[in-house]
């Protein structure tokens, strides 16, 4: 299955976002591969393709999928879309696929991902950002597209030209993207949004938009946003004054979405709370501050995880 000329883009992780982005890139004409860590699941996806459900029907996108990174050598771009707690394992796994000077872009949730990747890949090759697209995993290699959003990213290590070259690949495939020099701002803004929305939806079972239907929940959403924003400012970030309005607008724009944390908790999977609200609380302690809401919600999500594990 190995290809002497490799792939233009290798998506790492066959979850909802990994499958969605691999499919979108393939539909956009990019020579793309999908790297799994489970060989049986990889074989299933290789055989069936990625099935994407959209309004009006579904489409099957043929895809090369393997658990052997070397099958994709030399990949020119790797896009890491695994859960934050699997970042280091994914960074190690992808090494055998990377061509000389290949870029590695993380679009994961949470804080600290690019730093962990840079422990395995030369830092100048690492790019980091966010995607506002949404998807729900329906089964192996099968996703429901919940909305096409913007990819915002850049180089945390000042390699602007590398970021621009990567943007050309993405935009050439029809993906909307924006290169920024303020990578930390992008990551913190997404972390604040996720820290506010995800635990509330996970613990209540509500969809994003429903958080605004209850005045008490809407007030809690605002309080978490303000707390996380204060931590970001203490950590040296410039945070938008209207962050509460931004979070509420995200709830409206993704009103029908079940957040990734809700999906994970419902499926009995580990959540990323340690890398979102839990990480914000940890960074607050570094600044000799407290973040009681982020701390409490992260603890409650982890307790819910344990309950789901014991009852499943």
Catalytic sites, residue numbers: 190
Closest by Cα among 290, 272, 306, 110 to 199: 272
State phi, psi for 130 to the nearest 5 degrees. Answer: -140, 160
Burial of 37 (0-12, 13-18, 19+ CB in 10 A): middle
User: By C-alpha distance, which of 194, 192, 223, 224 is closest to 208?
Assistant: 194
Number of C-alpha atoms within 13 angstroms, CB side, residue 13? Answer: 25
Instruction: List, in order, residues 6 or more apart from 207 with CB less than 8 Å away.
Output: 201, 255, 256, 257, 258
Interhelix angle 243-253/183-204, rounded to 10 degrees, is 60
- Give strand ranges (E) for the chain: 9-12, 32-35, 50-54, 57-61, 64-66, 75-80, 98-106, 126-131, 134-139, 142-147, 151-154, 177-179
Q: Determine the Cα angle at 272 with ends 300 and 64, to 5°.
A: 150
The residues, ordered by sequence, that sit 6+ positions from 64 with a Cβ below 8 Å of its Cβ are 1, 3, 7, 32, 33, 34, 46, 71, 72
Question: HSE-up of 260 (CA within 13 Å, CB side)?
Answer: 24
Within 8 A by CB and 6+ apart from 37, the residues are 67, 89, 90, 93
């Amino acid at each position: 299955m190995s290809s002497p000329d490799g792939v233009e883009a290798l998506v790492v992780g066959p979850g909802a976002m990994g499958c969605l982005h691999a499919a979108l890139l393939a539909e956009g004409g990019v020579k793309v591969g999908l790297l799994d860590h489970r060989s049986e699941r990889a074989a299933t996806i290789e055989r069936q393709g990625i099935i994407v459900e959209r309004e009006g029907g579904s489409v099957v996108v043929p895809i090369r999928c393997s658990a052997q990174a070397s099958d994709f050598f030399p990949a020119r771009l790797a896009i890491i879309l695994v859960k934050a707690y699997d970042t280091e394992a994914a960074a190690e796994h992808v090494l055998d696929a990377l061509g000389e000077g290949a870029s590695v872009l993380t679009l994961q949730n949470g804080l600290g991902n690019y730093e962990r990747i840079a422990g395995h890949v030369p830092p100048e090759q690492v790019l980091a950002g966010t995607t506002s697209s949404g998807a729900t995993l329906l089964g192996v290699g099968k996703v429901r597209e919940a909305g096409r959003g913007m990819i915002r990213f850049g180089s945390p290590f000042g390699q602007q030209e590398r970021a621009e070259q990567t943007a050309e690949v993405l935009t050439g495939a029809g993906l909307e993207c924006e290169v920024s020099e303020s990578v930390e701002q992008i990551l913190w803004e997404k972390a604040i949004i996720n820290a506010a929305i995800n635990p509330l939806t996970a613990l209540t079972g509500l969809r994003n938009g429903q958080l605004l239907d209850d005045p008490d929940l809407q007030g809690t959403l605002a309080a978490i946003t303000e707390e996380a924003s204060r931590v970001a400012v203490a950590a040296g970030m410039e945070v938008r004054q209207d962050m509460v309005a931004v979070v509420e607008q995200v709830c409206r724009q993704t009103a029908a979405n079940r957040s990734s944390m809700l999906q994970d908790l419902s499926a009995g999977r580990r959540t990323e709370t340690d890398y979102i609200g839990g990480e914000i609380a940890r960074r607050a302690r570094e600044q000799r501050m407290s973040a009681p809401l982020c701390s409490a919600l992260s603890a409650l999500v982890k307790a819910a995880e344990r309950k789901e594990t014991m009852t499943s």
